[in-house]
Structure 1
Amino acid sequence: MTSVSELNVVLLGNSLSLKNSVGNLLLMKPVLNTDTEPQTIQTHEEKMNDKLLTVVMTPDLQRINRAEFRSYIRTLSGPRVFLLVLQPEDFTENHRDKLQLLLESCSEKAFDQSLVLISTAQSVPYVWRYDPRILNMIIECKSRYLCINAKEDDQKKRELKRKEMFTRISQMLKENCEPSQEENAGLAVSERRKSCLNLVLCGRAGAEKSSVLESITGQSSERLSLDPCEKHQMCGRWVSVLELPPLSGSDKPVEEVMEQCLHCLSLCGPQGVQAFILVLPLGSLTDEDKSELKILQDMFSSSVRPFTVVLFTVDSDQTVPALIDKDLLELCGGGHLILNTRGQQQVSELLDFVETLSAKNRPHSFTTETLIHGQRTMISAQLREIQDLKKNLTVSGSEASADCLRIALMGKTGCGKSSSGNTILGRKTFETKSGSLSVTVSCAKAEAEVDGRRVVVLDTPGLIDSTLSKDEVIKEMAKCVSFLAPGPHVFLLVLQIGRFTSEEKEAIKVIKQSFGNDSQKYTMILFTRGDDLEGECSIEEYIQQSNSSLKKLLSDCGNRYHVFNNRDKTNVSQVRELIKKINLMVQENGGGCFTNDMFQNAEAAIMREMERIIEMRERRIRLKQETSLCSLL
């Protein structure tokens, strides 16, 4: 007799019609079509591919008796999952509290076995994302959620959604069930995969990652590059070691860096990563090392911290010095150890260390779900920060007198923003440094009296850089208006003569996307390194000889521009001329600044853009996740 594996799917929620739709979708036939809530728990079974699927239909949330529900759930044999089917418009605090009580009564791990399903058929787009009741449920379920259109008529789309639902259920069981339960659910994995430790080596270029890779696997890095997913049996364990390319010290766009990180995570499959190992040579920590760790945590979110281990490499029997950077160890919650790349015994100690770390962490690995949760938490925090900044914008502006001139400097890293700020203020206030690395890492404000008038200058990080994520740009843009409350008189877009990058071509677009179309009327181009033109041509001739992209940018800014020679500290006339041009622009704009009202008009666009970023990242994570799952089947 063929044994039949079982899977129990329990439907809980605040909408009868939505629960019916989900149940019918799972069973692949319209067996649930009643318009009346069931008074008792009902079950519907369907045999699928030699597996028995049981869909458990529950009454209205407020009618469910907690003790009876708990007793019934405990009678179910085989793996079980809870699908929390939520209609956002009608979901109340009472619904949320009752769901929590029901799940907690079943098991302390019930939320680990739960997936939130959200109806999008009637919801205004994104409304549920700002509802703390919905968000709390999603967070309780480790950020597992799926949007579903209960009114979808397209059969092909319904089948795809059903497949996606079972893929998510399958992964959830793999992450939370015991190995025997995984097999009962038809989700058998090989012994090799069950016991495999997935390690990801991180670090800057030249950080001895290849030596560590070869020490652990016993094979050359050239051989390993042919099959980065290959499992190796080391010290009685199956081990997979991936090498993440250097994240710092490059001009790669942030989205490309994110793609590398996602690819690396997807190669580890549903089991995820047990440890991210930051490889550092023994000695002083460099700025590049710190940058590597920061980018790693920016890409994977702060959720990666408990899984991050510092590995100091040596080629002899040395010990780690007593004084280790405390900030480094605080950022790497997984601890630190030393590895003699020539000693095989220490490889065993490293693997023991990772196994202990995995047992201590909950969940025991960093998965795509962990990443989604971290990304959503991080961006939600940024949204709250923008909301707080918005509140600051309600300041009446009494601190800034009517005669105060407020200037916001924007542009790509290394274009001369900080130097221009110092030139305007007549003293060195903002730190400057030649090169491609940004000295200004967040908005910095300073003021001075210029020709008897108070002038406030805001220096911003490289907001036009492709190395900044879009949400970081939006957050710093919002700070810009807040710090110059009640608003800046001018956005000075700083460009360096002789250099006009692809990012700078899109500069005005970035400003308009963040602040709305009105911001264009308050934008002026400031060229730096005007001394490069001396004896060659005038600024007007330079513009005339420039390409069409620069001319279009100038046109978008109303052909308002000025040129600075920041090396000539005694030339005060260039500052006076700039202020004169700004005053003329202010008069053309009705005598006012870029105001709170204008920013509020742009706020909806900012929120939509933040949501688009979330959606885009989650789609890419899901795609990588599904690709890795398919490769394992």
Structure 2
Amino acid sequence: MSAAAPNSELRLVVLGRTRDGKRPEGSAILGLQDSELGTDPETTQLCSKHRGEAAGRQVVVVSSPAWFSPDCDPKDRRRHISSFLSLSSPGPHAFLLCVPVNDSADAESKALDVLEELLGPSAVSANTIVLFTHTEELEEDERMEDYLVTWRKDLGALVGRCGDRYHTLETRGGDEEAERRAVEELLEKVEQAVTESGTPHFSCRLYEEAEERVRQKQAELVSPADGNTTEEEMEAVRDEAERSVDDLDVDVESFFSSVSVSPSSSAPWFLWEWWEKLAGWMRRLPKLVRREALLGALVGLFVGGPFGGMMGATVGSVAVEVGRRKTQKNK
């Protein structure tokens, strides 16, 4: 088999930051409710696995915490990576990297660096799809491809590393039919990526090790006397075996110390720190003034000093007024 058939099981690994106040991507794909996902803080900080049907396909979604965050404890990081590997063994059909369109993608870029070092370059170039979140920040008639080219070339570079594959599950107005189509289009992109890769699913040395460990644990859990074990019981045993593997030989800390931070590594650290603060402030502004204020803030940042602040404020105000007059004229 060279590709995932439409009716076969698709295994997806969701990586990245969760959307505050919104349904996680895993639940959006499978149509799960919050009560089915669990809301216990200790539970939500662990890798999780859910099965379901989506767009006529059997789908398994493995969701992993943001282990690539600098705030993640090294021991937890190793445990999270071992866990998502075992839960998605013998290998996923796609990694879905969640990236907010309104924030720095520095952490997600580093996650791709680590995936390449840990699992091999094809894990990123052939088997990863960027899943954009917070797309409500875009203007109503603004296309994602235009946004990437005009405003966020750093996000465009991230997409380029993933074979130019990207998608969003977010729709405006809560249209259920549009949400269903968004999920169906995502799964079609996953199947297309599998077809182009020429393999049934992604695999590498670590996934082979994870699968071997899972099978060993599975054999330990099944007694030879259990000759009449049902398919449902074997599935439960398999799930238990997968959850028990959390100590694979992953030397992630050496990767974190060796990989470069792109695409922002060429910028001085203090400028990127200011940019992150600016991005957080921009999210609280109305969309009409978002870009105009950004222009003014950048002028003030790079000119510097009291004069820079006054110049930035003036540029921002003029840009806002021009934008308002243009909007009124078009009405």
Category of TM-score, reference length = shorter chain: 0.5 to 0.7
1:485 match: secondary structure = coil
Hey, what's the Cα distance between the residues in 1 that align with 2:39 and 2:59?
Answer: 20
Q: Aligned partners of 1:533, 1:485: CA distance in 2, in Å?
A: 37
> Is structure 2 residue 175 aligned with structure 1 residue 574?
no
Query: Partner of 1:178 in structure 2?
Result: none
Pick from 500, 505, 525: which aligns with 2:104?
500
Helix, strand or coil at the partner of 1:499: coil
1:523 aligns with 2:128: yes
Shift of 1:549: 2.5
Provide the residue aligned with 1:373 in structure 2.
none
- Partner Cα distance (2:128, 2:79) in 1: 19
- Percent identity at matched positions? 28
Residues 1:430 and 2:34 are matched in the alignment: no
Describe the SS at the equivalent of 2:167: strand
How many angstroms does 1:414 deviate by? Answer: 4.2
Q: In the alignment, which residue of structure 1 is the partner of 2:142?
A: 537
Provide the C-alpha distance between the structure 2 equivalents of 1:547 and 1:462, rounded to a whole number of angstroms: 22
Q: Are residues 505 and 486 of structure 1, via their aligned partners in 2, closer, same or farther at CA, if it must alter by over 3 Å?
A: closer
The 1:592–1:499 alpha-carbon spacing in structure 2 relative to 1, beyond 3 Å, is same
- Which amino acid is the alignment partner of residue 577 of structure 1? E
Q: Deviations over 1:32-67 (max 9, x none)?
A: xxxxxxxxxxxxxxxxxxxxxxxxxxxxxxxxxxxx
In 2 relative to 1, CA 458–511 (structure 1 residues): closer, same or farther, beyond 3 Å?
same
Instruction: Give the secondary-structure state (helix, strand or coil) at the position aligned to 2:86.
Output: helix
Is contact 1:412-1:464 (8 Å) kept? no
- Verify the 8 A CA contact 2:12 2:93 in the aligned structure 1: yes
Q: Would you tell me which structure has more helix in proportion to its own residues?
A: 2
Contact 2:92 2:202 in 1 (8 A): yes
Alpha-carbon distance change, 480 to 420 in structure 1, aligned in 2, over 3 angstroms = same
Kept in 2, the 8 Å contact 1:481–1:487? The answer is: yes
Give the equivalent residue in structure 1 for 2:51.
Answer: 447
SS in 1 for 2:103: coil
- Spell out, residue by residue over 1:460-499, the C-alpha distance to the aligned partner (whole angstroms, 9 max, x if none): 1112211113442233122112112221111100011211
C-alpha contact 1:407 1:489 (8 A) present in aligned 2: yes
Kindly indicate whether the alpha-carbon contact (under 8 Å) linking 2:19 and 2:133 is maintained by their aligned counterparts in 1.
no
1:99-248 to 2 correspondence within 5 Å? none
Paired residues, what number?
Answer: 209
- Deviation per CA, 1:104-160: give whole Å up to 9, x if none: xxxxxxxxxxxxxxxxxxxxxxxxxxxxxxxxxxxxxxxxxxxxxxxxxxxxxxxxx
Choose which of 155, 159, 163 in structure 2 pairs with 1:550: 155
Give the secondary structure class of the aligned counterpart of 2:182. helix
* 1:595 maps onto 2:200 in alignment: no
Match of 1:484 among 70, 77, 88: 88
SS in 2 for 1:467: coil
User: RMSD in angstroms over aligned alpha carbons?
Assistant: 3.4
Match of 2:117 among 513, 522, 526: 513
- Work out whether residues 52 and 58 of structure 2, in 8 Å CA contact, stay in contact via their aligned partners in 1: yes
| Structure 1 stretches lacking a partner, 5+ long | 1-400, 615-633
CA distance in 2, matches of 1:613, 1:525: 21
> Shift of residue 542 of structure 1?
1.2
Gaps of 5+ in 2: 1-5, 211-247, 258-331
2:37 partner SS: coil
Query: Which protein is richer in strand relative to its size?
Result: 1
Q: Distance in 1 between matches of 2:144 and 2:61?
A: 24
Distance 2:47 2:111 in 1: 18
Question: Are 2:66 and 1:458 aligned?
Answer: no
- Structure 1 position 601, deviation (Å): 8.7
The residue aligned with 1:420 is 25
Measure the CA separation in 2 of the matches of 1:403 and 1:486. 15
SS state at 1:506 partner: helix
Q: What is the aligned counterpart of 2:72 among 468, 489, 501?
A: 468
**Contact 1:530-1:564 at 8 Å conserved across structures:** no
Q: How much has 1:596 moved relative to structure 2?
A: 5.2
Taking structure 2 as the reference length, the TM-score comes to: 0.55
2:301 is matched with which residue?
none
Amino acid at match of 1:509: D
Higher RCO (CA < 8 A, seq sep 6+):
2
Name the residue aligned to 1:69.
none
Secondary structure, aligned partner of 1:572 = helix
Distance 1:439 1:569, change over 3 A: farther
CA contact (8 A) 2:120 2:204 kept: no
Find the counterpart in structure 2 of residue 84 from structure 1. Answer: none
Q: CA deviation at 1:431?
A: 4.9
Please tell me the residue identity of whatever aligns with 1:482: S
Distance, in Å, in 2 between the alignment partners of 1:416 and 1:465 is 20
**Partner amino acid, structure 1, of 2:31:** G
The structure-2 alpha-carbon separation of the partners of 1:544 and 1:579, relative to structure 1 and needing over 3 Å to count, comes to same
Query: SS of 1:488's equivalent?
Result: coil
Match of 2:200, SS? coil
SS of aligned partner of 2:24: helix
- Cα offset, 1:410, TM superposition: 0.2
